[in-house]
């Protein structure tokens, strides 16, 4: 079994399309197809269900995917470890992030990292906090910036970075706009809520604050984009509970602190694998962050 066969297999599994995977790998589609067929012959099992529109993994393919990703991650780690001994950070840095994190300017941090480590290929993936934790634990991401959803485990470390209070965001014509004090969950429970998907950090922080206060609410308008949320609140279609820094994303909106039984907060963390499994590139990025390089 050749490493390139596993690399080709993982690319097709990720893209669910031979043409797109071939373009990304910069190989011919016929060559990619031949590589997958060779792997299937060696394993004596079909790995994909092929249709005219997409390909999906078979049961054998799903079993292989986890092992292939683990093997490729170990190969990358071996290359990076040797480079690190030589004093050079090389390889690939795969970073995950949420849209709404507080306390980390991801674009600026990655730009500073690239200036210091030009031999490292940077890859960025955006998702919800729960999914990002799973990606780091599975070795598909080197690290991620997300909302704290858990404590440390054998597969995942949570490094605290920043804490920010949550605010109720509303239209300037809304009845809350004239409020002079912080709002409680019971004050806003009957409102129409605009919110993110349940896997997103701000949604999890808001749900936790209302659960802790013993108050139920209904999310009527659910989005997966910051600008969509702001647009809906800007049209007075509902209110949103968001981290404090959202106040500066749409200055015309009114923002009021949300107080629960304690202060409702959004905690940003860096999600990393155990120390011995952390890549040299990920360690270099964290060192840069800790020195204020981002």
Output the six-digit token pair for 69.
């990703």
| pLDDT of amino acid 98 | 92
The pLDDT tens digits for 20-65 are 899 888 899 899 999 999 999 999 999 999 887 889 999 999 999 9
Q: What is the pTM of this model?
A: 0.69
The pLDDT tens digits for 75-123 are 877 877 776 665 557 788 999 999 888 888 999 999 999 999 898 999 9
Residue 273 in contact with residue 157, Cβ under 8 Å? yes
Listing DSSP states for 11-36 in one string gives HHHHHT-HHHHHHHHTS-HHHHHHHH
Per DSSP, the three-state class of 121 is strand
Distance, C-alpha 280 to centroid of its chain = 20
Whether the per-residue pLDDT at 233 is higher than 80: the answer is yes
The pLDDT tens digits for 201-210 are 999 999 989 9
| pLDDT of amino acid 262 | 59
Q: What is the mean pLDDT of residues 135-146?
A: 91
| pLDDT of amino acid 152 | 67
| pLDDT of amino acid 85 | 63
Query: CA 207, 208, 209: angle at the middle one, nearest 5?
Result: 90
What domains sit in the chain, N to C, each tagged with a CATH number?
1-88 (1.10.10.10), 163-266 (3.40.190.290)
Q: How confident is the model at residue 231 (pLDDT cuts 50, 70, 90)?
A: very high
> How far is the C-alpha of 242 from the C-alpha of 136, rounded, in Å?
25
Ranking 39-43, 83-87, 170-174, 247-251 by mean pLDDT, the lowest is 83-87
């Amino acid at each position: 079994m050749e490493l390139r066969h596993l690399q080709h297999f993982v690319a097709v599994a990720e893209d669910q399309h031979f043409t797109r995977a071939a373009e990304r790998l910069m190989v011919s589609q016929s060559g990619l197809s031949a590589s997958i067929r060779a792997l299937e012959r060696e394993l004596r099992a079909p790995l994909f269900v092929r249709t005219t529109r997409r390909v999906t993994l078979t049961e054998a393919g799903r079993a292989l995917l986890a092992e292939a990703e683990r093997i490729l991650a170990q190969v990358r780690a071996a290359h990076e470890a040797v480079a690190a001994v030589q004093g050079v950070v090389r390889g690939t840095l795969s970073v995950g992030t949420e849209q709404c994190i507080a306390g980390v300017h991801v674009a600026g941090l990655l730009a500073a990292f690239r200036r210091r480590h030009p031999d490292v290929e940077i890859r960025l993936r955006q998702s919800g906090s729960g999914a990002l934790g799973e990606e780091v634990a599975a070795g598909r991401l080197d690290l991620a910036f997300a909302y704290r959803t858990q404590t440390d485990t054998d597969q995942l470390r949570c490094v605290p970075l920043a804490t920010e209070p949550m605010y109720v965001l509303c239209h300037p014509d809304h009845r809350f706009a004239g409020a002079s004090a912080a709002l409680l969950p019971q004050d806003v429970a009957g409102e129409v809520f605009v919110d993110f998907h349940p896997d997103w950090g701000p949604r999890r922080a808001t749900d936790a604050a209302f659960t802790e206060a013993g108050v139920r609410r209904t999310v009527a308008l659910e989005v997966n984009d910051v600008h969509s949320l702001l647009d809906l609140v800007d049209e007075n279609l509902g209110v949103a509970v968001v981290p404090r820094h959202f106040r500066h994303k749409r200055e015309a909106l009114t923002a009021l602190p949300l107080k629960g039984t304690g202060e409702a907060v959004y905690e940003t963390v860096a999600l990393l694998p155990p120390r011995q499994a952390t890549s040299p590139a990920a360690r270099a990025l964290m060192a840069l962050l800790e020195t204020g390089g981002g």
